[in-house]
Copies of this chain bind each other. A is one copy, B any other.
Amino acid sequence: MTTTATRTAYAELCEVARETATLLSAEFLLAWDQETYMPEGAADARASQRALIAGLVHDRKTSERMGELIAACEADAELTADPATKADIREFRRDYDLATKLPVELVRELTEVGSRAQNIWRKAREQSDFSVFRPILERLVGLVRQKAECYGTPKGGELYDALLNEYEPGARAADIESIFTPLAERLSALVANLADNGTPPDTSCLDLKIPEANQHSFGMFILESIGFDLSCGRLDTTTHPFCEGLAPGDTRLTTRYRDERFTDALYGTMHEAGHGIYEQGLPKARCFGQPLGEAISLGIHESQSRMWENSVGRSRAFWTWALPHAKDKLGPAIAPCSADDLYRAVNTAQPSFIRVEADEATYNLHIMLRFDIERAIIRGDVAIKDIPGLWNETFKRYLGLGVPDDRRGCLQDVHWSFGAIGYFPTYCLGNLYAAQLWETINEQIPDLNDQIARGEFAPLRTWLNQNIHAQGRRYRAGELCERLTGKPLSADPLLRHLEGKLKPIYGLA
């Protein structure tokens, strides 16, 4: 029976959660600013600011009142008869149970050390010197292990799963391994086959010098065209591109420009725009702070970014539409290129050093490498000082290249510098979800390809919005995948997609 008291409990729960999210969003701005505009000298103050707010947020997330309100809602059969509300309360419970396992001191320390480590990582990366980063990374990994131990090893799982669960609720390293291992084999075989037997596409249309301002102007045009709302967001430049869904009406993307290979910035921008369109599609205005207003998991989040970057952006249809606009915005250097030249060039599959610039096929091997190393770190099988060696050895095994320096090796990514261990595998899950969803979307929007070739992105965006974005955390990732595609997650769609696209380009079809 729903009494006024429990109706009020749910309303109060949502109200408290909204206030907590509002406070947390100030921490998000501090984090965004740290990556974009913060002066170097502010690093210490910034670490204190972020740690203070993270502590206040944690206190609120774990308050006794939160526990009482959640329990009151759970006990109310009429309230939980509504499936969306039921899911909201289920996820409130999950978050509360997780949060209450962590002492506030640990949360503050993780935030403070993570904030400092980010600045130190940036310097170490510039100097390509792992030894600069090592001491603080050791401290940070110690804190992350403490966090994992607070969460506890799940039954039948490993300690690493406790971290994974933060980013991909319910995921297990062993399950991921059982998908990744055969995927790695088939991908390595594909890449080797292309290299040994195929004719790589001509990439001279990418080796153009295009000024940053022109690249930015093209990127902004693409953002507008695919439907990222710039009145509720922005695009800046950072070392490591990211998307921050800061608050209702405030979703911020970053990218980075190089004079050569304008497609690095373009696909970086489209990737982050995919995250941004998800963030903008969440019902935050109504449900800010409630699970129903939040993204399901990082894997699903990444499926959205990879879909816009790869399924859309690396298609022939995309270049058919985009080419005249590219010629208009990017300047005369690109004038001689055809849509087919670009389509083929951006689908080169070739081992390279930098994950965020890797092609669609080898990208997944970059992730598997990180997944292996992270698990080894958490298991205690590898000391922090041995990361560069292990990185380079594993890189050689997966991608066949000798890493020339740490900047292009184990120092390239920002994630570990803020203590995000268990995050990387979600990137590969994202590719898998994207490929599987893409097959379904093409069945349900049969002329999708023609729409893209005409620059009509609204039907795709509407499909994603209705089926994924607007749902918040109503479904877990695996459940959503099965509901939408009719099947559990599998590596087949991604392999079908890559083989179907790359073999013809390499003259092997």
Show the binding face of A for B, using Cβ within 8 Å: 19, 22-23, 25-27, 29-30, 33, 36-46, 48-49, 52-53, 56, 229-234, 236, 246-252, 288
Nearest CB in chain B to that of A55: its residue: B19
Cβ of B26 and Cβ of A229 under 8 Å apart? no
Give every chain B residue within 8 A of A249 (Cβ-Cβ): 39, 41-45
Give every chain B residue within 8 A of A29 (Cβ-Cβ): 26, 29-30, 33, 49
* CB < 8 Å neighbour of A44 from B30, B45, B248: B248
Nearest CB in chain B to that of A229: its residue: B41
* CB < 8 Å neighbour of A41 from B33, B42, B231: B231
Give every chain B residue within 8 A of A46 (Cβ-Cβ): 247, 250
Nearest CB in chain B to that of A250: its residue: B42
Complex Cα gap A40–B231 (Å): 6
Complex Cα gap A46–B26 (Å): 9
Whole-angstrom distance between the Cβ of A224 and the nearest chain B Cβ: 14
* CB < 8 Å neighbour of A48 from B22, B39, B43, B233: B22
Complex Cα gap A370–B219 (Å): 45
Copies of this chain in its oligomeric complex: 2
Cβ of B56 and Cβ of A250 under 8 Å apart? no
* CB < 8 Å neighbour of A234 from B25, B27, B37, B52: B37
Give every chain B residue within 8 A of A23 (Cβ-Cβ): 49, 52-53, 56
Q: By DSSP majority rule, is chain A's interface helix, strand, loop, or mixed?
A: helix
The 9 closest A-B pairs by CB, nearest first: A41-B232, A41-B249, A42-B250, A45-B247, A42-B249, A45-B248, A41-B231, A26-B26, A40-B231
Cβ of A53 and Cβ of B39 under 8 Å apart? no
Give every chain B residue within 8 A of A48 (Cβ-Cβ): 22
Sampled A-B contacts (20; CB under 8 Å): A19-B52, A23-B53, A25-B45, A26-B26, A26-B53, A29-B29, A29-B30, A37-B236, A39-B232, A40-B231, A41-B232, A41-B250, A42-B246, A42-B249, A42-B250, A44-B248, A44-B249, A45-B250, A49-B247, A56-B56
Cβ of B39 and Cβ of A37 under 8 Å apart? no
Give every chain B residue within 8 A of A26 (Cβ-Cβ): 26-27, 29-30, 49, 52-53
* CB < 8 Å neighbour of A25 from B37, B44, B49: B49
Nearest CB in chain B to that of A23: its residue: B52
Complex Cα gap A288–B250 (Å): 30
- Among A42, A229, A234, the one with the most B-chain Cβ atoms within 10 Å of its Cβ is A42
Give every chain B residue within 8 A of A248 (Cβ-Cβ): 42, 44-45
- Among A41, A231, A251, A252, the one with the most B-chain Cβ atoms within 10 Å of its Cβ is A41
Cβ of B53 and Cβ of A250 under 8 Å apart? no
Complex Cα gap A36–B229 (Å): 18
Whole-angstrom distance between the Cβ of A354 and the nearest chain B Cβ: 28
Nearest CB in chain B to that of A233: its residue: B39
Nearest CB in chain B to that of A53: its residue: B26
Whole-angstrom distance between the Cβ of A242 and the nearest chain B Cβ: 15
Whole-angstrom distance between the Cβ of A254 and the nearest chain B Cβ: 12
Cβ of B52 and Cβ of A22 under 8 Å apart? yes
Whole-angstrom distance between the Cβ of A8 and the nearest chain B Cβ: 21
Give every chain B residue within 8 A of A231 (Cβ-Cβ): 39-41
* 17 extra interface residue pairs, beta carbon distance < 8 Å, beyond A26-B29, A43-B249: A22-B45, A22-B48, A23-B52, A23-B53, A26-B27, A26-B52, A37-B236, A39-B232, A39-B250, A39-B251, A39-B252, A41-B249, A41-B250, A42-B247, A42-B250, A45-B247, A45-B250
Nearest CB in chain B to that of A27: its residue: B26
Whole-angstrom distance between the Cβ of A238 and the nearest chain B Cβ: 13
Whole-angstrom distance between the Cβ of A403 and the nearest chain B Cβ: 32
Give every chain B residue within 8 A of A30 (Cβ-Cβ): 26, 29
Complex Cα gap A228–B467 (Å): 53
Nearest CB in chain B to that of A280: its residue: B41
